[in-house]
Amino acid sequence: MQYRTLGRTGVQVSSLALGAMNFGTMGGTTQDEVTAIVDAALEGGINLIDTADVYSGGESEEMVGKAVAGRRDDIVLATKAGLPMGDGRGRRGSSRRWLVTALDDSLRRLGVDHVDLFQIHRWDPGTSDEETLSALTDLQRAGKIRHFGSSTFPAYRLVQAQWTARDHRLSRYVTEQPSYSVLQRAIEGDVLPVAEEYGLGVLVWSPLASGWLSGAIREGREVTTNRAAFMPQRFDTAVPSNRVRLDAVEQLAEIADGAGLTMIQLALGFVTAHPGVTSALIGPRTLDHLHSQLAAADTVLSADVLDAIDAVVAPGTDLAAHEKNDTPPALLDPSMRRR
């Protein structure tokens, strides 16, 4: 396992981190299975665990808390808030009112008195950067969080937040957590350069592209990934954009075979090769999934392999741009584009 400094924090984290989105109802995992996965991840050298309040309605945090009990100090523990927690109008976003409540709820579920990294799950256009950063700075000073970061923010919002922190003398975001994979590379053109400019640690999610790069999705095979059960449109190979992805996967499989690598090693080795990336978040549902992903921990891709990948998916290109999670609201809401 490789270890890297998380932005400018001085915290050393593993180049592969354990994502807990599949823990609980969402992934169909039990507490015993979660504990076994956490045990094996720690034994494999992973020291960063990332969860969120919204994962299985808080169940993921509860399971992580039980799995890490008694060894909290050995783990860099991260969680997130901001996506809707239930139907309540005020139980979402990044207002001071909600963040204070959401963090207390997360700490209770995790069974800890602080988290090392507290992240805003999505940019909230209804709340000012000053309001959010002021609340986070106060929570940091209260000792409930050590550092805070953002997740899936557009590049221009990352810059604006850095300026706001400077202008109002507040603590600043020290990390960003974007989606990044061989098939979704648009952040190479904006988010990653901005992160490098401001010294942000970058924890990338979905490096296996929701299973497209796991080796399980190939031409002529039935799609069996767990995600297909609740996002069937993303895996329907009759959809043109999915056909493009499948064609790319077949070419990438040839590159992996030629290099003596599994698809997982190729995919994880690709994202961790970028100098702007600190860690890749893996999200196993089973021990077998975890072991296949840990096998990529020390994978270093040669320049020839990286060039071959570039020839299949050009740098800065998203093969499924419609699945982006950081699209500006003005592009989604017609009322924001018309008088």
Could you give the number of structural domains in the chain?
A: 1
For the entire predicted model, the pTM comes to 0.93
pLDDT at 89: 84
Please write the tens of the pLDDT for every residue from 87-138. 888 899 999 999 999 999 999 999 999 999 999 999 999 999 999 999 999 9
Residues labelled catalytic: 55
Query: For residue 133, how many C-alpha atoms fall within 13 Å in the half-sphere facing its CB?
Result: 20
C-beta of residue 313 within 8 angstroms of C-beta of residue 185: yes
Residue-range definition of the domain harbouring residue 121: 3-336
The CATH number that applies at residue 320 is 3.20.20.100
Instruction: Judge residue 251's burial from the number of C-beta atoms within 10 Å of its C-beta, 0-12 exposed, 13-18 middle, 19 or more buried.
Output: middle
Task: Please report, as a single letter, which amino acid is at residue 218.
Answer: R
133-181 pLDDT, tens digit each: 999 999 999 999 999 999 999 999 999 999 999 999 999 999 999 999 9
Higher pLDDT, 232 or 310: 310
CA atoms of 93 and 86, how far apart (whole Å): 12
Question: In a 3-state reduction of DSSP, which class is residue 138?
Answer: helix
Name the average pLDDT for the chain. 93
Amino acid found at 237: T
Which residues have CB under 8 Å from 303's CB, separation 6+? none
CB atoms within 10 A of CB 10: 7
What pLDDT band is residue 226 in, cutting at 50, 70 and 90?
Answer: low
Contact residues for 16 (Cβ-Cβ < 8 A; gap 6+) = 1, 46, 268, 272, 279, 280, 282, 293, 294, 296, 297
CA distance 212 to 16: 19
Neighbour tally for 322: CB within 10 Å: 8
Question: In this model, does residue 59 exceed pLDDT 80?
Answer: yes
Q: Which amino acid is at 222?
A: E
